[in-house]
């Protein structure tokens, strides 16, 4: 079984929002997950924890994700 992929993602720097489409009996509903990338040793990892300096970027990424969902709601129906 193939792993589900987001329908869209928004990234600014280390902050990423993944937009997921879920089919329901009431139509398509969108959910968003957000992560912050960081490097541990030689490996890139993701965290769902954000520091003070991440918050404005997080807000912008979420704003862009919201805009994308609003612009594509009619496409999903």
**Residue 2 forms part of a structural domain:** no
Exposure of 23 by Cβ count < 10 A (0-12 exposed, 13-18 middle, 19+ buried)? Answer: exposed
Q: Which tens digits make up the pLDDT trace of 6-43?
A: 999 999 999 999 999 999 998 899 999 999 999 999 99
Answer whether residue 25 is part of any domain. yes
Residue 18 lies in a domain: yes
Q: DSSP labels for the chain?
A: -PPP--SEEEEETTEEEEEEEEEETTEEEEEEEEEEEEEETTEEEEES---GGGHHHHHHHHHHHHHHHHHHHHHH-
pLDDT of 38-66, one tens digit each?
A: 999 999 999 999 999 999 999 999 999 99
User: Is residue 3 a part of any domain in this protein?
Assistant: no
- Residue range of the domain that includes 38: 8-76
Total domains, the chain: 1
- Is 52 among the domain residues? yes
pTM: 0.87
20 inside domain: yes
């Amino acid at each position: 079984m193939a792993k589900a992929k987001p329908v869209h993602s928004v990234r600014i720097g280390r902050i990423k929002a993944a937009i997921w489409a879920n089919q329901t009996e009431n139509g398509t509903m969108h959910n968003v997950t957000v992560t912050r990338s960081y490097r541990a040793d030689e490996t890139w990892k993701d965290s769902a924890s954000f520091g003070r300096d991440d918050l404005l970027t997080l807000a912008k990424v979420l704003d862009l994700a919201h805009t994308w969902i609003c612009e594509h709601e009619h496409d999903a129906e």
